A and B are shown apart, each in its own frame.
Chain A
Amino acid sequence: MDFGYTPQQEALRREVRQFIRDNMTPDLAEEMDVHANAERPRGTSPSAHEFYRKIYERGWLGITYPKAYGGQGGDRLTQYIVEEEFTRAGVNIALNGSGAPAIMAAGTEEQKQYYIPRLIKREISFCLGFTEPHAGADLANLKCSAVRDGDYYVINGQKMYTTAAHSATHIYLMARTDRSAPKHDGISIFLIPMDAPGITVRPLWTIQNNPTAPLPTTYGASRTNETFFDDVRVHKSCLLGEENKGWRVGSMGLNLDRVGASRYLISVRRDEDIVNFVKSTRFDGFEPGKDPAIRDKIAEMWIEAQVCRLMTMRSMSIVERGGKFTYEGSAEKVWAPEHGVRTTEAITQMLGPYGSLLRTSPHAIEDGVFAHNVMGSFQSGINHGSVQVMRDQVARRGLGMPSSRKSRKAEG
């Protein structure tokens, strides 16, 4: 099987790249950057909305979604090509992580009609409210409660690491609706507007915020949040899927969310940068591209990057054929973040001792971006399902091994 692009696909790729060159201003680039969003919520300004509108007009948003819901009814490879180019430019247009895959799979007709077109056009966005202080890897331990009161639910509890809660219009919330059921069976998913009375967002600064990561840092987020729910009343129509069946909806959504270009691309972008840097740089007559140790390392990282890409292609092909994931998404979620850690470390090694200095040092190279990338790359091994938990899933679902011995209660 050949994974190269056809001439039409290659033309599309160039068209997208040109569009970005023509429409992306430095100010916009700053707003779209994950690290800028600490002070400036990403993609919420009028110029960002205008930018998304233009992308939508080109037919490049929601390519794989049905036309009836504002999509293009197109194929995944086309979507991948477009996503790849935007991700390279630091713009997230992907709908994974948005809640859209889960709403398509489990939503009522009304929910699909309401949410999908708006998510595609980027008029609304979700943050994910899963993790709690006592429920991380052991997510089913969650305590946030939703109690039925007539046509409403009353929600109380707290969520941890709700990334983008400070820019999102909605939260995709996992809460306990039945306290007496076994822990996986009493959980439900709610789609809730962030302006519902009783929701409080408290910033949670990450390692990337001290000192603040410089703008082109690819990995990690500088800000995530804690989100509190104090007697938040939501209508029962906010429920996604059936009451108490939220565990299945949630884990299916997370699996679908793992498929896409962005996971692999955040590493590849750095890999491409270092190749260009090494090819074009000379220090005092030294050409890094001729150094055998550097060539060796770069070749190795490049091979790893290609494995990431092939894994992504395979996941897309599984979804395209309507196949079932067993271990594939989990394997991708181990390999890509760990490749990110290896490649960012290798890059700082190639740059020598100054490569490890953070931006606060006057001797930092390019504002310390490479060192900040090393720190940030570790975040992707934790968020959206940690690599340890993903390995466990590969063993269980992929290799048919028994569930591991019950670990002691996971600590938040």
Chain B
Amino acid sequence: MANCPVCQAPVDEAAAKAQTGMTPGGAKEVDPKMGTRQFHDGTWYYFDSLDCRNKFTRNPDSYLKK
């Protein structure tokens, strides 16, 4: 389990990446309700929602120092 760096909600990294379907082109599909992630300075950070990730994208340092 990770915590959303913005709102601290728990995010299950494995569930966020778990395959829930496949596109006709053969790519893995995931369940968007399980959260999303962002690669920042060499690390993947996990978020419960896009809203939180957008906040993070705008100002990552303010969430990482805490």
A residues at B contact (CB < 8 Å)? 41, 44, 133-134, 143, 156-158, 165-170, 193-195, 199-205, 226-228, 411-412
B residues at A contact (CB < 8 Å)? 17, 19, 23-30, 32, 36-39, 50, 53-54, 57-58
The docked-state distance in angstroms from the alpha carbon of A293 to that of B48 is: 50
Q: List 28 A-B contacts (CB under 8 A).
A: A41-B23, A133-B53, A133-B54, A157-B39, A158-B38, A158-B39, A165-B25, A166-B23, A166-B29, A169-B25, A169-B26, A170-B25, A193-B25, A194-B25, A194-B27, A195-B25, A199-B28, A200-B17, A200-B30, A201-B27, A201-B28, A201-B30, A202-B30, A204-B32, A205-B32, A226-B36, A411-B57, A412-B54
CB distance from B32 to the nearest CB of A (A): 5
Most chain B beta-carbon neighbours within 10 Å: one of A157, A165, A195, A411 = A195
Given contacts A158-B39, A195-B25, A201-B23, contact A411 B58 (CB under 8 A): yes
The docked-state distance in angstroms from the alpha carbon of A44 to that of B57 is: 35
CB distance from B45 to the nearest CB of A (A): 11
Quick one: closest B residue to A43, CB to CB? B24
A158-B39, A169-B26, A201-B23 known; 9 new pairs, CB 8 Å cut-off, are: A133-B53, A157-B39, A166-B29, A167-B25, A169-B24, A200-B17, A202-B32, A203-B29, A412-B54
Quick one: closest A residue to B26, CB to CB? A195
> Cβ of B30: which chain A residues have Cβ within 8 Å of it?
200-202
Task: Please tell me which one of the listed residues B23, B38, B54, B58 contacts residue A165 in the complex, with CB atoms under 8 A apart.
Answer: B23
Contact A412 B27 (CB under 8 A): no
Quick one: closest B residue to A411, CB to CB? B58
CB distance from B58 to the nearest CB of A (A): 5
The docked-state distance in angstroms from the alpha carbon of A133 to that of B29 is: 19
CB distance from B18 to the nearest CB of A (A): 10
Given contacts A134-B57, A158-B38, contact A194 B32 (CB under 8 A): no
Quick one: closest B residue to A124, CB to CB? B25
> Cβ of B57: which chain A residues have Cβ within 8 Å of it?
133-134, 411-412
> Cβ of B58: which chain A residues have Cβ within 8 Å of it?
411-412
CB distance from A393 to the nearest CB of B (A): 25
> Cβ of A199: which chain B residues have Cβ within 8 Å of it?
27-28
CB distance from A179 to the nearest CB of B (A): 12
Quick one: closest A residue to B17, CB to CB? A200
Contact A143 B39 (CB under 8 A): yes
CB distance from A250 to the nearest CB of B (A): 21
Contact B23 A228 (CB under 8 A): no
The docked-state distance in angstroms from the alpha carbon of A167 to that of B29 is: 11
Contact B24 A202 (CB under 8 A): no
CB distance from B24 to the nearest CB of A (A): 5
Given contacts A134-B57, A157-B39, contact A41 B17 (CB under 8 A): no
CB distance from B9 to the nearest CB of A (A): 18
Given contacts A167-B23, A411-B58, A412-B54, contact A201 B39 (CB under 8 A): no
Contact B29 A200 (CB under 8 A): yes
> Cβ of A169: which chain B residues have Cβ within 8 Å of it?
24-26
> Cβ of A170: which chain B residues have Cβ within 8 Å of it?
25
Contact A41 B29 (CB under 8 A): no
The docked-state distance in angstroms from the alpha carbon of A167 to that of B22 is: 10
Quick one: closest A residue to B34, CB to CB? A202
> Cβ of B50: which chain A residues have Cβ within 8 Å of it?
204
Contact B32 A41 (CB under 8 A): no
> Cβ of A166: which chain B residues have Cβ within 8 Å of it?
23, 27, 29
Contact B36 A202 (CB under 8 A): yes
Given contacts A200-B17, A204-B32, A412-B57, contact A133 B27 (CB under 8 A): no
> Cβ of A200: which chain B residues have Cβ within 8 Å of it?
17, 19, 27-30
The docked-state distance in angstroms from the alpha carbon of A167 to that of B26 is: 9
CB distance from A151 to the nearest CB of B (A): 22
> Cβ of A143: which chain B residues have Cβ within 8 Å of it?
39
The docked-state distance in angstroms from the alpha carbon of A201 to that of B28 is: 6
> Cβ of B39: which chain A residues have Cβ within 8 Å of it?
143, 156-158
The docked-state distance in angstroms from the alpha carbon of A228 to that of B30 is: 11
Task: Please tell me which one of the listed residues B24, B26, B32 contacts residue A203 in the complex, with CB atoms under 8 A apart.
Answer: B32
Given contacts A133-B53, A411-B57, contact A168 B29 (CB under 8 A): no
The docked-state distance in angstroms from the alpha carbon of A200 to that of B17 is: 8
Contact A168 B25 (CB under 8 A): yes
